[in-house]
Amino acid sequence: MLKSVVFSELPEHETIWSITTGRDGNIYAGLCGELTGGLSVFIVRYDPVEDKKEYLLEVGPALNEPVDNGRAPVCKIHYSMIPASDGKLYCATHFSGPPQGDPMWRPWQSWNDPEKMASGFHIFTYDTRNGHLEDFGVMAPNEGCRAMAMSEKRMLLYGVTWPRNHFYVYDIAKRKYSDKGRIGDINPQAIWLDTEGNAYTVDDLGAIIKYDADMEKLLDTGAFLPKSPGCDSEARCVYDAVPSPDGKSIYGSVWNLECVPFSERLFRFDFCDGKVHDLGCGLDDGKSAELDHIGGLVFGDDGYLYYTVSRKDENRRIPYRMYLFRMNPATFEKEEICPVDDGEWQSEYIAKATKDFAGNLYFADTNNRPQRIYIYTPDGAGKNFNKKWPFSRTWG
């Protein structure tokens, strides 16, 4: 059984897509609400030393986007909350929830509606030291941001818009937004960086695309994500990506909920030669009867890759239960640890994960009310909170 942090004070919010570790060692997350009309995302903080949670900011009103303005509300920070070394969180907003009083909302049906359409996504910073928010403004009218990454070396933000799936670059120093064009129909759920601050993501068919920051150009790498044998469709994209401890690779999971059920593949992408290695499905038996979801990838201090994987359960509203696994990156051996269950609720879906300075692992729950974060402490972890930086991945 896992420990959890339950955000019961916001009973209508039902998803957590973004979770990260700040410069101060605290855990930060975006508490989102996309099923009930007129909800704003909240930035919340959990202090692992004091075992204390805080509701820091209702984002929409702080950006002059009140929840009762008739538009699609600023209901989400998707995979776009990034900690910087100065203690700030760099964030981009996202949309999908209905306006207050409406049962549902879709961008295409509202695209030219001056009252209902989303205003467009904001990029902003939240200073975790003093609570100051700086709004850089609306970047792309009518669109949200589904994933973002940050190169502090270059002071650039990279992201993808939704629903048109354009790749963008935002120059923080110049306050300049650049649209680099459409990369596909279905959004990738992650963007990752190499040590030089170049960005990578994928198109709809799993082709890995590189943004060369020196050339200021999108490039085709020639590499593809692995395709599950259980998928008839060629459609696939990246769901999660986490840097290896040595920084030479990233480990990721494949996904395309919008074209096939799931795609249940783990992979490794090596920067040195641009090769992709298919690491199989998430389960320990080497095969999967179902196409399962894999999310919440995070490396523990013990060097193991931890992740969560779903198994079918037709007795539930969303017919899945999540289980925690770990993989030895030297042998690729996979081991089931436990259900993602705090004794009150077993998760149906885990999005992303992070860890704190003592090596405790945090998994962001989704599709639940009230929302929660599950905590797992690997053997030997959880004793000493030793502050260190850089620490967190610099993408959502």
The whole-number average pLDDT for the span 328-347 is 95
Residue 395 domain flag = no
Question: What is the pLDDT at residue 285?
Answer: 57
Token representation of residue 40? 């704003």
> How far, in Å, CA of 115 to CA of 69, rounded?
8
Q: How many CB atoms lie within 10 A of CB 252?
A: 28
Say whether pTM exceeds 0.85.
yes
Strands of the sheet with 176-182, listed across from one edge: 144-151, 156-162, 166-171, 176-182
Residue 214 domain flag = yes
Question: What is the pLDDT at residue 288?
Answer: 53
> What is the tens place of the pLDDT at every residue in 135-184?
999 999 999 999 999 999 999 999 999 999 999 999 999 999 999 999 99
Question: What is the pLDDT at residue 284?
Answer: 65
Residue 383 domain flag = no
Write the CATH number for 19.
Answer: 2.130.10.10
Question: What is the pLDDT at residue 303?
Answer: 96
Residue 390 domain flag = no
User: Regarding predicted confidence, which is higher, 279 or 287?
Assistant: 279
Left, alpha or beta for 118 (phi > 0: left; psi -120 to 50: alpha)?
beta
User: Which amino acid type is present at position 114?
Assistant: P
Q: How many CB atoms lie within 10 A of CB 6?
A: 15
Mean pLDDT rounded to a whole number for the chain? 93
Q: What residues form DSSP beta bridges with 362?
A: 354, 375
Token representation of residue 310? 């779903």
Give the confidence band of 286 by pLDDT, cuts at 50, 70, 90.
low
Range of 165's domain?
3-376
> What is the tens place of the pLDDT at every residue in 289-328?
566 899 999 999 999 999 999 988 877 777 789 999 999 9
Residue 80 domain flag = yes
> What is the tens place of the pLDDT at every residue in 35-53?
999 999 999 999 999 999 9
Percent of the chain with pLDDT over 70: 97
Question: What is the pLDDT at residue 66?
Answer: 96
Residue 121 domain flag = yes
> How far, in Å, CA of 162 to CA of 148, rounded?
12
Question: What is the pLDDT at residue 256?
Answer: 78
Question: What is the pLDDT at residue 376?
Answer: 98
Question: What is the pLDDT at residue 372?
Answer: 97
Question: What is the pLDDT at residue 318?
Answer: 72
> How far, in Å, CA of 374 to CA of 353, rounded?
9
121 CB-side CA count, 13 A: 30
> How far, in Å, CA of 329 to CA of 127, rounded?
36
State the total domains in the chain.
Answer: 1
Residue 384 domain flag = no
265 has pLDDT over 80: yes
Annotate the chain with three-state secondary structure. Answer: CCEEEECCCCCCCCEEEEEEECCCCCEEEEEECCCCCCCCCEEEEEECCCCEEEEEEEHHHHCCCCCCCCCCCCCECCECEEECCCCEEEEECECCCCCCCCCCCCHHHHCCCCCCCCCEEEEEEEECCCCCEEEEEEEEECCEEEEEEEECCCCEEEEEEECCCEEEEEECCCCEEEEEEECCCCCCCCCEECCCCCEEEECCECEEEEEECCCCEEEEEEEECCCCCCCCCCCEEEEEEEECCCCCEEEEEEECCCCCCCCCCEEEEECCCCCEEECCCCCCCCCCCCCCCEEEEEECCCCCEEEEEEEECCCCCCCEEEEEEEECCCCCCEEEEEECECCCCECCCEEEEEECCCCCEEEEEECCCCCEEEEECCCCCCCCCCCCCCCCCCEC
> How far, in Å, CA of 88 to CA of 70, rounded?
31
Question: What is the pLDDT at residue 316?
Answer: 75
Give the confidence band of 228 by pLDDT, cuts at 50, 70, 90.
confident
Question: What is the pLDDT at residue 292?
Answer: 81
User: Regarding predicted confidence, which is higher, 259 or 352?
Assistant: 352
Lowest-pLDDT choice from 142-151, 258-267, 386-395: 258-267
User: Regarding predicted confidence, which is higher, 258 or 142?
Assistant: 142
C-alpha distance from residue 120 to each of 97, 147, 161, 164 (Å): 14, 15, 10, 12
C-alpha distance from residue 67 to each of 38, 64, 110, 116, 370 (Å): 5, 9, 17, 12, 20
Percent of the chain with pLDDT over 90: 84
Question: What is the pLDDT at residue 264?
Answer: 78
> What is the tens place of the pLDDT at every residue in 54-102?
999 999 999 999 999 999 999 999 999 999 999 999 999 999 999 999 9
